[in-house]
Amino acid sequence: MAIVFRTRAEEIALGMTLLGLFFSSVLYGLALSQLYTYYKRFPRDPLSVKVLVCDLSSFSITVTYSGHIFSSKRILDTVSVILECHACWYYLVTTGPMTLAVWSLNAELVVSMFISGIAEAFMTYRVWMLSGRQNILTCGLVSIYFHDQRTYQ
């Protein structure tokens, strides 16, 4: 087995990556638990609502039904956790070089930004609907969203 020497900064970065994997896996498990609970508590919901909650498409869908909000991003969440596992495996098990960004980290960033964009677009739509379709408030939210996106690039 090859011995790999890492700097303290590299060890901290790998530790944060591993902690991120742990926390995202726990949150993923909680999301799956919510899905299971939904199907147990609302067995008589229409099939169309159940399909939306299950999220057979690859989009993040939030379903509001009977005053309850159910967030479902199953496919994208699954892809995100798999990509994080690959990155941890690459850096921690195969001792990949820290100077190279493994492809799965870049792909996970894209997936996370896609999930975030869909969630923010849905929130903006809900604010627009609940505010009586006031375009000024909606334009303000959209400008904040685009400013945040420009900041992180």
Higher-confidence position of 21 and 61: 21
pLDDT of residue 127: 81
State how far the Cα of 147 lies from the Cα of 1, in Å rounded to an integer.
48
Q: Is residue 1 part of a domain?
A: no
Which segments of the chain does DSSP mark as H helices, in order? 8-41, 47-54, 74-88, 103-130, 135-152
- Model confidence at 55, pLDDT cuts 50, 70, 90, reads low
Token pair listed for 122: 């849905």
State how far the Cα of 138 lies from the Cα of 152, in Å rounded to an integer.
22
Domain containing 84 equals 8-152
Q: Is residue 115 part of a domain?
A: yes
SS3 100: coil
* Among candidate residues 67, 104, 66, the one with its CA nearest the CA of residue 83: 104
pLDDT of residue 72: 42
Q: Is residue 109 part of a domain?
A: yes
Per the CB < 8 A criterion, the answer to whether 43 and 50 are in contact is no
Q: Is residue 3 part of a domain?
A: no
Q: Is residue 100 part of a domain?
A: yes
pLDDT digits (tens, 9 = 90+) for 76-118: 778 888 998 998 888 888 877 777 888 988 898 888 888 777 7
pLDDT digits (tens, 9 = 90+) for 63-84: 333 334 444 456 777 888 899 8
Q: Is residue 2 part of a domain?
A: no
Token pair listed for 53: 């909650």
Q: Is residue 63 part of a domain?
A: yes
Question: In the chain, how many domains are there?
Answer: 1
State how far the Cα of 78 lies from the Cα of 45, in Å rounded to an integer.
25
* Among candidate residues 144, 142, 86, the one with its CA nearest the CA of residue 111: 86
